[in-house]
Amino acid sequence: MTSKSLNLTERLTIAVDRLEKHQGEKKWAGLSEPLDSLILTILSQNTNDNLRDQAYARLRSSFPTWQEVVEAPVEKIEEAVRIAGLSKQKSANIQAFLKWTVEQFGEYSLMSLADMDDDEAIGLLTAQKGVGIKTAAVTLMVTLGRDLCPVDTHVRRISKRLGWVNEKTSAEKTFWQLRPYVPAGRGYSLHMNLLQFGRSVCQARKPRCGGCFLWDECRWEGKGINKE
Ligand code: SF4
Protein backbone atom coordinates (compact mmCIF):
# COMPACT_ATOMS: atom_id res chain seq x y z
CA MET A 1 0.00 0.00 0.00
CA THR A 2 1.44 3.42 -0.91
CA SER A 3 1.23 6.36 1.45
CA LYS A 4 -1.12 8.04 -1.06
CA SER A 5 -3.84 5.50 -0.26
CA LEU A 6 -3.45 5.80 3.52
CA ASN A 7 -5.66 8.04 5.62
CA LEU A 8 -4.30 10.89 7.68
CA THR A 9 -4.20 8.94 10.95
CA GLU A 10 -2.10 6.24 9.29
CA ARG A 11 0.24 8.79 7.73
CA LEU A 12 0.74 10.62 11.01
CA THR A 13 1.41 7.29 12.71
CA ILE A 14 4.09 6.46 10.14
CA ALA A 15 5.68 9.87 10.72
CA VAL A 16 5.64 9.71 14.51
CA ASP A 17 7.03 6.14 14.46
CA ARG A 18 9.81 7.10 12.11
CA LEU A 19 10.67 10.31 13.95
CA GLU A 20 10.94 8.33 17.18
CA LYS A 21 13.04 5.66 15.50
CA HIS A 22 15.54 8.19 14.15
CA GLN A 23 15.42 10.89 16.82
CA GLY A 24 14.19 9.05 19.90
CA GLU A 25 10.88 9.16 21.74
CA LYS A 26 10.40 12.47 23.50
CA LYS A 27 9.07 12.16 27.02
CA TRP A 28 7.14 14.77 28.98
CA ALA A 29 9.25 16.21 31.83
CA GLY A 30 6.38 16.36 34.36
CA LEU A 31 4.05 18.87 35.97
CA SER A 32 5.09 22.54 36.22
CA GLU A 33 3.38 25.93 36.65
CA PRO A 34 1.46 26.84 33.47
CA LEU A 35 1.62 30.59 34.16
CA ASP A 36 5.42 30.69 33.87
CA SER A 37 5.30 28.76 30.62
CA LEU A 38 2.55 30.95 29.21
CA ILE A 39 4.49 34.17 29.87
CA LEU A 40 7.58 32.56 28.34
CA THR A 41 5.54 31.58 25.28
CA ILE A 42 4.16 35.12 24.88
CA LEU A 43 7.79 36.28 24.82
CA SER A 44 8.65 33.66 22.20
CA GLN A 45 6.40 35.21 19.53
CA ASN A 46 8.44 36.23 16.47
CA THR A 47 11.82 35.55 18.04
CA ASN A 48 14.20 32.68 18.70
CA ASP A 49 14.56 30.56 21.85
CA ASN A 50 17.78 32.25 22.92
CA LEU A 51 16.37 35.81 22.87
CA ARG A 52 13.11 34.59 24.44
CA ASP A 53 15.05 33.03 27.32
CA GLN A 54 17.17 36.15 27.82
CA ALA A 55 14.04 38.34 27.92
CA TYR A 56 12.34 36.01 30.41
CA ALA A 57 15.44 35.90 32.64
CA ARG A 58 15.65 39.70 32.64
CA LEU A 59 11.96 40.04 33.43
CA ARG A 60 12.19 37.62 36.36
CA SER A 61 15.38 39.13 37.77
CA SER A 62 14.06 42.73 37.48
CA PHE A 63 10.64 41.81 38.92
CA PRO A 64 10.91 38.67 41.06
CA THR A 65 7.13 38.32 41.62
CA TRP A 66 4.24 38.51 39.13
CA GLN A 67 2.64 41.12 41.40
CA GLU A 68 5.67 43.37 40.82
CA VAL A 69 5.31 42.89 37.06
CA VAL A 70 1.68 44.01 37.26
CA GLU A 71 2.48 47.05 39.40
CA ALA A 72 5.48 48.23 37.37
CA PRO A 73 5.12 51.02 34.79
CA VAL A 74 4.64 49.29 31.44
CA GLU A 75 7.76 51.06 30.06
CA LYS A 76 9.87 49.20 32.63
CA ILE A 77 8.47 45.87 31.46
CA GLU A 78 9.15 46.88 27.87
CA GLU A 79 12.74 47.66 28.79
CA ALA A 80 13.20 44.28 30.46
CA VAL A 81 11.86 42.25 27.53
CA ARG A 82 13.08 44.47 24.66
CA ILE A 83 15.63 41.93 23.46
CA ALA A 84 12.82 39.57 22.35
CA GLY A 85 11.23 42.21 20.07
CA LEU A 86 7.62 43.48 19.88
CA SER A 87 8.26 44.68 23.43
CA LYS A 88 5.42 47.21 23.53
CA GLN A 89 2.84 44.65 22.56
CA LYS A 90 4.31 41.82 24.63
CA SER A 91 4.65 43.88 27.82
CA ALA A 92 1.04 45.13 27.59
CA ASN A 93 -0.21 41.60 26.93
CA ILE A 94 1.81 40.16 29.82
CA GLN A 95 0.47 42.72 32.31
CA ALA A 96 -3.10 42.24 31.07
CA PHE A 97 -2.80 38.47 31.24
CA LEU A 98 -1.40 38.53 34.77
CA LYS A 99 -4.22 40.83 35.93
CA TRP A 100 -6.78 38.51 34.38
CA THR A 101 -5.16 35.46 36.02
CA VAL A 102 -5.41 36.88 39.51
CA GLU A 103 -9.00 38.06 38.91
CA GLN A 104 -10.02 34.69 37.49
CA PHE A 105 -8.22 32.32 39.85
CA GLY A 106 -7.43 34.49 42.90
CA GLU A 107 -3.69 33.82 42.60
CA TYR A 108 -0.81 34.09 40.18
CA SER A 109 -1.16 30.51 39.11
CA LEU A 110 -2.88 28.62 36.31
CA MET A 111 -2.81 25.28 38.11
CA SER A 112 -6.65 25.30 38.16
CA LEU A 113 -6.48 24.54 34.43
CA ALA A 114 -5.57 21.01 35.49
CA ASP A 115 -9.23 20.52 36.48
CA MET A 116 -10.51 21.47 33.01
CA ASP A 117 -10.61 19.46 29.84
CA ASP A 118 -8.47 20.56 26.89
CA ASP A 119 -11.22 22.43 25.05
CA GLU A 120 -12.34 24.38 28.10
CA ALA A 121 -8.76 25.36 28.99
CA ILE A 122 -7.94 26.33 25.39
CA GLY A 123 -11.14 28.39 25.14
CA LEU A 124 -10.41 30.25 28.35
CA LEU A 125 -6.80 31.03 27.49
CA THR A 126 -7.33 32.05 23.88
CA ALA A 127 -10.07 34.50 24.90
CA GLN A 128 -7.24 36.62 26.38
CA LYS A 129 -5.43 39.20 24.27
CA GLY A 130 -2.06 38.05 22.98
CA VAL A 131 -2.78 34.37 23.65
CA GLY A 132 -3.22 32.42 20.45
CA ILE A 133 -3.83 28.73 20.00
CA LYS A 134 -0.10 27.98 19.78
CA THR A 135 0.60 29.67 23.12
CA ALA A 136 -2.34 27.91 24.78
CA ALA A 137 -1.50 24.49 23.36
CA VAL A 138 2.23 24.73 24.17
CA THR A 139 1.42 25.73 27.75
CA LEU A 140 -1.05 22.89 28.29
CA MET A 141 1.23 20.31 26.64
CA VAL A 142 4.47 21.32 28.37
CA THR A 143 3.19 21.99 31.88
CA LEU A 144 0.15 19.74 32.28
CA GLY A 145 1.15 16.98 29.89
CA ARG A 146 -1.94 17.37 27.71
CA ASP A 147 -1.96 15.20 24.61
CA LEU A 148 -1.76 18.02 22.07
CA CYS A 149 0.54 18.78 19.15
CA PRO A 150 0.94 22.59 19.03
CA VAL A 151 1.66 24.07 15.61
CA ASP A 152 4.56 26.49 15.37
CA THR A 153 6.47 27.53 12.25
CA HIS A 154 8.34 24.18 12.00
CA VAL A 155 5.26 22.00 12.52
CA ARG A 156 3.30 24.06 9.98
CA ARG A 157 6.03 23.90 7.33
CA ILE A 158 6.53 20.15 7.70
CA SER A 159 2.77 19.50 7.76
CA LYS A 160 2.51 21.27 4.41
CA ARG A 161 5.48 19.45 2.91
CA LEU A 162 4.19 16.07 4.02
CA GLY A 163 0.80 16.96 2.57
CA TRP A 164 -1.08 16.76 5.86
CA VAL A 165 -2.60 20.18 5.15
CA ASN A 166 -2.59 22.29 2.03
CA GLU A 167 -0.21 25.11 1.22
CA LYS A 168 -2.49 27.94 2.35
CA THR A 169 -3.56 26.48 5.69
CA SER A 170 -2.73 28.84 8.58
CA ALA A 171 -0.94 27.60 11.69
CA GLU A 172 -4.17 27.84 13.68
CA LYS A 173 -6.16 25.86 11.13
CA THR A 174 -3.35 23.31 10.87
CA PHE A 175 -3.66 22.69 14.62
CA TRP A 176 -7.42 22.11 14.47
CA GLN A 177 -7.25 20.03 11.29
CA LEU A 178 -4.53 17.70 12.57
CA ARG A 179 -5.85 17.38 16.11
CA PRO A 180 -8.27 14.47 15.50
CA TYR A 181 -5.59 12.53 13.60
CA VAL A 182 -2.66 12.79 16.02
CA PRO A 183 -2.15 9.23 17.36
CA ALA A 184 -3.43 9.05 20.95
CA GLY A 185 -0.81 9.65 23.61
CA ARG A 186 1.81 10.83 21.15
CA GLY A 187 1.15 14.57 20.76
CA TYR A 188 4.14 15.61 22.87
CA SER A 189 6.62 13.31 21.14
CA LEU A 190 5.31 14.29 17.71
CA HIS A 191 5.56 18.02 18.42
CA MET A 192 9.04 17.86 19.94
CA ASN A 193 10.32 15.58 17.22
CA LEU A 194 8.91 17.78 14.45
CA LEU A 195 10.77 20.73 15.98
CA GLN A 196 14.00 18.76 15.99
CA PHE A 197 13.37 17.51 12.46
CA GLY A 198 12.57 21.07 11.26
CA ARG A 199 15.77 22.43 12.75
CA SER A 200 18.11 19.67 11.66
CA VAL A 201 16.67 18.13 8.45
CA CYS A 202 13.59 19.77 6.97
CA GLN A 203 14.83 23.32 7.33
CA ALA A 204 12.90 26.21 5.80
CA ARG A 205 15.44 27.35 3.22
CA LYS A 206 17.73 24.41 2.65
CA PRO A 207 15.98 21.16 3.53
CA ARG A 208 18.42 18.24 3.64
CA CYS A 209 16.30 16.00 1.45
CA GLY A 210 19.20 13.74 0.46
CA GLY A 211 19.30 11.97 3.80
CA CYS A 212 15.67 12.49 4.79
CA PHE A 213 14.03 9.51 6.50
CA LEU A 214 10.60 10.85 5.54
CA TRP A 215 11.43 11.20 1.83
CA ASP A 216 8.80 8.66 0.72
CA GLU A 217 6.14 10.43 2.81
CA CYS A 218 6.95 13.89 1.44
CA ARG A 219 4.56 15.39 -1.09
CA TRP A 220 6.24 18.75 -1.51
CA GLU A 221 6.90 19.70 -5.11
CA GLY A 222 10.19 21.35 -4.11
CA LYS A 223 11.57 18.20 -2.47
CA GLY A 224 15.03 17.21 -3.59
CA ILE A 225 16.07 20.69 -4.76
CA ASN A 226 18.81 20.52 -2.18
CA LYS A 227 20.56 17.15 -2.23
CA GLU A 228 22.74 17.89 0.76
S1 SF4 B 1 12.15 15.21 1.60
FE2 SF4 B 1 12.99 17.25 2.02
S3 SF4 B 1 11.21 18.63 2.10
FE4 SF4 B 1 10.46 16.53 2.25
S5 SF4 B 1 10.25 16.13 4.46
FE6 SF4 B 1 12.27 15.42 3.83
S7 SF4 B 1 13.66 17.15 4.18
FE8 SF4 B 1 11.56 17.93 4.20
Q: 220 CB under 6 A from ligand 1?
A: yes
Residue numbers of the chain with a pLDDT score lower than 70: 1-5, 226-228
pTM above 0.85, yes or no: yes
Q: Residue 226: what pLDDT?
A: 63
Look at residue 5 in the predicted model and tell me its pLDDT. Answer: 67
- 222 occurs within a structural domain: no
Q: Which of 129, 122, 125, 61 is nearest to 95 (CA)?
A: 129
**Which residue among 12, 196, 202 has the greatest number of ligand 1 atoms within 8 angstroms of its CB, and so is best to mutate?**
202
pLDDT for 4 equals: 60
Closest-CA residue, ligand 1 atom 3, reads 223
Q: Tell whether 227 is covered by a domain.
A: no
The whole-number pLDDT of residue 225 equals: 73
Specify the CATH number for the domain of residue 195.
1.10.1670.10
Q: Give yes or no for residue 202 CB within 6 A of ligand 1.
A: yes
Q: What does the pLDDT read at residue 26?
A: 97
Same domain as 112, residue 59: yes
Strands (E), 21-166: none
* Residue 58: inside a domain: yes
Contacts of 221 by beta carbon, 8 Å cutoff, 6+ apart: none
Ligand 1 atom 2 nearest Cα: 209
Domain of residue 21, residue span: 3-27+150-217
Does the CB atom of residue 176 touch ligand 1 within 6 A?
A: no
Task: Check whether residue 52 and residue 124 sit in a common domain.
Answer: yes
Residue 208 shares a structural domain with residue 128: no
Percent helix, strand and coil across the chain, each to the nearest 5:
65, 0, 35
The CATH number of the domain holding residue 126 is 1.10.340.30
pLDDT one-digit tens code per residue, 4-30: 667 999 999 999 999 999 999 999 999
19 lines ligand 1 (CB under 6 A): no
Q: How far does the centroid of ligand 1 lie from the alpha carbon of residue 226, in Å?
A: 10
C-alpha 179 to ligand 1 mean position (Å): 22
Is residue 131 located within the same domain as residue 160? no
Q: How many independent structural domains does the chain possess?
A: 2
Q: What is the pLDDT of residue 224?
A: 84
Integer Cα distance of 49 and 220 in angstroms: 27
Is there a single domain that holds both residue 16 and residue 38?
Answer: no
- Residues 21, 100 share a domain: no
Length of the chain: 228
